[in-house]
Structure 1
Amino acid sequence: MIDMTVTVSLADVSSYRPGNPVSAEYFAQFHDDAGSALSAMFNPPRFRHHVGVGETPADMAFRAIAPMLVRHGPELLDEVDVLVVHTQLPETWFVGNGGEIAAQFGIVPEWLIDLANGGCASFIHGIKLAREILQNTKARSALVVNVTNTAGQVFAQKGVRSMAQAAIPGDGAGIAWLTKSDQSPILDIETRHLPQFAGEMTSVATPPRRYWEAGPGEHHIGFTESNVVKVLDRGNRIVPEVARAVCERIAVPPSELDLLVTNQPNRTFLRNWREELALPAERHPDTFEECGNLFGTAMPMTFDHAVTSGLVRDGDVVMFAGFAHAGDFAAAAAVRWGGRHSAGGA
């Protein structure tokens, strides 16, 4: 049972973009032609960033939290009892990268959760888990960490980079800090697991083999014209659905949201979502042209950009919304943004 007398706030966000921007021209020299649905799904951004050679998820997370520690001081980490991590491509076999990130941060949290699901909406999934822990335990604060690291490692492979899907992903990391306070309260969260679609986004290689088996052919996502059409249809539908569910409970019509922050698979989804929710483009910021599809990192990265750029004002109602994989998870969360302040006061 959630203790609703405990208010949990999104106290701050910070992010990290690795390396120099990689232009669309880099991939254009390798690309094959794509079909109509694939073209809509994989129309490339101008730029994206790639994880550096030897750069680990823990390295990326530490670089992402650095601006937050400058703002609030390293003592912020002393009260972190909850660490929720989603790494797109875990580099530590079996256990994920949460432990290495905790070690890099110099913390020993009571709650350390490595998410294996949630995908592009894992930011909200992590916030929901962290909020419930904070509301029902003596835990003092939480960090939700997203690390995206396949663009420079999977999609830049020689056998993959000629595919249309290769030019879309970007790498980066984003972090949210949650505190027990009323400064930027989380107003409501909606999460929906849709297990009937689980497993539809597959990893394939030619000739076929399991991802852990040795053999020729590099693994990539098994997109086909038909399953791309299904993903486009599901994504167009379920993201507005979860956003509307939250809007109804907080009594704010979708068209009156001050800011919509979503995952950013492609321009088609971005346009369709804001049109479905009757929002102008200026209230739906994204970092797609500079960063590509950041998967789970898109929301914290984009919101960090919005705050830093002055696109969000104190008191604004911000809606985070997105879906994962082929549509097996969708989530939305509303926050009344109170600005970047320390946990204890103004």
Structure 2
Amino acid sequence: MTQDLEPAPTPPRVGVLGMGTHLPARRRTNDEVARAARVSPDWITQRTGVRNRHTAGPEEAASDLAAAAVRSAVAAAGLDIDRLDLLILATSTPDELGPATACRVQALTKARNAVALDVSAACSGWLFATRVAHDWLRSDNAARHAVVVGVEAYSKFLDPTDRGTAVLFADGAAAAVLGPVPATEGFADFHLGSDGELADHVLIPAGGSRAPASLDTVTDGGHTIHMDGRAVRDFIAEMFPAVLSDSLARNRLRMADIDAFVTHQPNPRLLRSAGTAAGIPPDRLPIVADEVGNIGAASTPYTLAAAAVETPLRRGDRILLATFGAGMTWGSALLTWSGAPVIRTGPTT
């Protein structure tokens, strides 16, 4: 005698329930940055498109910025912080090499019931972390809500005289609360990649186990961001259209089927050029880096939150998320917008 087995229940769709962003109070204009970098303010504008960026104070670390964004995201989602089951943080500029900066944020926000961990994938980090949270929630029946936060405190790791990095990188944080949404909404079709052969294109070479901190590493500037700007530009120019076309082809979609292309923001000039080359209509490519610079792992969620408020996104809109960063890393995902509310703290444009 055989017993019929009931089919396993379909895991719930996971989408965005609320978002929060935070920018530190101090704003640095091109006039200020240009003096140290020994270029003109117009040079920065013409080469990058960045006009302003925000800088954490001496007493502020990445966890402080991230905690502010997490609090806002949780409030926007209408949740009590104790209902978070998972807290994942993406950053290239952690408070310390260990423990995970997510644990610092857990302590600051009192998210005592959440499992806290970091994901490191540079500017692609938030999307990589979102994939982890998405799969975790769909596979664990006991977990319902996660918060994924991207944060950078790049100003702590910049050589102000290096015009290739000092004019671009800045500080900020953005978070999204993920949870169950209707079957027609939420995330689908994550596709992530990396090529470690290109890891030297962007890095902070000293301070880890390969080159521990010493007088020589400090003197040589080994604890600041080093970037091969030409190699990074070429990588983005090649990968951006490839990531987009691959996602569209896999899902049998056309450019016209996408309501917004929300991407990492390396710099406005490069992004606009890449968007034009890929055939993206300008009104469907939100750009925020002109006012906040490159905020790394926070860039994509910050752009998504800004688009939700300023475009604004409507419930049911189809969003193609695309990221690329050091490692080198890249990724894409489709997101059907759930109409999630957004709370932004700190200076806004």
Q: Same fold (TM over 0.5)?
A: yes
**What is the CA distance between 1:39 and its match in structure 2?**
7.8
| Counterpart for residue 126 of structure 1 | 129
2:261 paired with 1:274 = no
2:37 paired with 1:31 = yes
CA shift in 2, pair 1:70/1:9, >3 Å: closer
Deviation string 1:57-82 (CA, Å, 9 cap, x unpaired) is 2221221133334434451x232111
CA shift in 2, pair 1:8/1:195, >3 Å: same
- How many residue pairs were aligned? 324
> Which residue identity does 2:87 align to in structure 1?
L
SS in 1 for 2:266: coil
> Which residue identity does 2:213 align to in structure 1?
W
* Equivalent position to 1:53, from 49, 55, 58: 58
Q: In 2, distance between residues paired with 1:323 and 1:50? A: 23
**Kept after mapping to 1: 8 A contact 2:47/2:269:** no
Residue ranges of structure 1 left out of the alignment (5+ in a row): none
Task: Identify the range of structure 1 (305-314 vs 137-146) with the bigger mean alpha-carbon deviation.
Answer: 305-314
**What is the CA distance between 1:134 and its match in structure 2?**
0.8
2:88 paired with 1:84 = yes
Q: In 2, distance between residues paired with 1:230 and 1:56? A: 30
Q: In 1, distance between residues paired with 2:248 and 2:109? A: 36
**What is the CA distance between 1:19 and its match in structure 2?**
0.9
TM-score (norm 2): 0.84
| Counterpart for residue 102 of structure 2 | 98
Q: In 2, distance between residues paired with 1:3 and 1:201? A: 44
CA shift in 2, pair 1:281/1:89, >3 Å: same
SS in 2 for 1:173: strand
**What is the CA distance between 1:341 and its match in structure 2?**
6.3
CA shift in 2, pair 1:99/1:333, >3 Å: same
2:26 paired with 1:16 = no
Q: In 2, distance between residues paired with 1:321 and 1:309? A: 20
2:245 paired with 1:244 = yes
Residue ranges of structure 2 left out of the alignment (5+ in a row): 1-7, 343-349
Q: In 2, distance between residues paired with 1:210 and 1:41? A: 36
> Which residue identity does 1:245 align to in structure 2?
D
Q: In 2, distance between residues paired with 1:98 and 1:277? A: 36
Q: In 2, distance between residues paired with 1:231 and 1:90? A: 23
Q: In 1, distance between residues paired with 2:279 and 2:192? A: 22
Q: In 2, distance between residues paired with 1:315 and 1:74? A: 22
Aligned pairs for 1:105-254 within 5 A = 105-109=109-113, 111-116=115-120, 118-138=121-141, 139-151=143-155, 153-155=156-158, 160-164=159-163, 165-182=165-182, 184-203=185-204, 210=211, 212-215=213-216, 216-218=219-221, 219-223=223-227, 227-254=228-255
| Counterpart for residue 258 of structure 1 | 259
> Which residue identity does 1:53 align to in structure 2?
P
CA shift in 2, pair 1:44/1:309, >3 Å: closer
2:289 paired with 1:288 = yes
Q: In 1, distance between residues paired with 2:136 and 2:194? A: 20
SS in 2 for 1:308: helix
**Kept after mapping to 1: 8 A contact 2:28/2:54:** yes
Task: Identify the range of structure 1 (3-12 vs 118-127) with the bigger mean alpha-carbon deviation.
Answer: 3-12
**Kept after mapping to 1: 8 A contact 2:67/2:108:** yes
Q: In 1, distance between residues paired with 2:168 and 2:226? A: 15
**Kept after mapping to 2: 8 A contact 1:3/1:136:** no
| Counterpart for residue 313 of structure 1 | 314
CA shift in 2, pair 1:340/1:202, >3 Å: closer
**What is the CA distance between 1:92 and its match in structure 2?**
2.4
> Which residue identity does 2:324 align to in structure 1?
F
Q: In 2, distance between residues paired with 1:51 and 1:6? A: 38
CA shift in 2, pair 1:71/1:222, >3 Å: closer
| Counterpart for residue 346 of structure 2 | none
| CA root-mean-square deviation | 2.7
